[in-house]
Chains A and B, each alone.
Chain A
Amino acid sequence: NAGVTQTPKFRILKIGQSMTLQCTQDMNHNYMYWYRQDPGMGLKLIYYSVGAGITDKGEVPNGYNVSRSTTEDFPLRLELAAPSQTSVYFCASRPTGGGPQHFGDGTRLSIL
């Protein structure tokens, strides 16, 4: 019953560093999403994917990149970390045909 797995759970970066947030799901879902949640705020969509090889921008894509080479994995890349990217990042997936999203437990990222 793994569901959506995110790694790492916590990370501290220095300004200008890069890193990849990993997300994998074992439910064979075609749709996958990356959100960020700032303190006291709702979730903002960064990128989403409707299937392997297909990605699209959400509300706040600047400073991030994604790829979707397999159905299971949807990594999020930060190339030049900035303090404004300090947030909690959630990955989610859902099956084709509608229905709710399944969320990972999140990655708490601090950029100092």
Chain B
Amino acid sequence: GNSVTQMEGPVTLSEEAFLTINCTYTATGYPSLFWYVQYPGEGLQLLLKATKADDKGSNKGFEATYRKETTSFHLEKGSVQVSDSAVYFCALSEGNFNKFYFGSGTKLNVKP
């Protein structure tokens, strides 16, 4: 079946540090991959996506590359800010996009 595994948090970094949040997936077909961000008290917002192998999604300084050979979609940012503090979810969807599968989320705390 389909599933997503994320590194456990919380991750605590100082401002301007480099961020990596690991995400690996299991899928029966060729999924699309997503990163969502959730700020306190809010719903999830799409951060970036990639729809096929070797695609790189990017937004607001965040990047993730769809690696089929390692079934991974790690989230990276070169220099985090306090405002990046949130919970980050990795997700995949099946080919027909009817269902989405989410990881358990990784909480990021950025200290000034």
Which A residues fall within an 8 A CB radius of B? 4, 31, 33, 35, 40-43, 45, 48, 50, 56, 58, 90, 92, 94, 98-101, 103-106
Which residue in A4, A40, A43 is a CB contact (below 8 Å) of B102?
A43
A-B contact pairs, 23 of them (CB 8 A): A4-B43, A31-B97, A33-B100, A40-B104, A42-B4, A42-B102, A43-B102, A48-B98, A58-B99, A90-B43, A90-B44, A92-B43, A92-B44, A94-B97, A98-B32, A98-B93, A100-B46, A101-B44, A101-B100, A103-B44, A103-B45, A105-B41, A106-B42
| Additional 17 contacts, C-beta under 8 A, given A40-B105, A42-B103 | A31-B97, A33-B100, A42-B102, A42-B105, A48-B99, A56-B98, A58-B99, A90-B44, A92-B43, A92-B44, A98-B51, A98-B93, A99-B97, A100-B46, A100-B49, A105-B43, A106-B43
The number of A-B residue pairs with CB atoms under 8 Å apart is 52
Contacts of A92 on B, CB cut-off 8 Å? 43-44
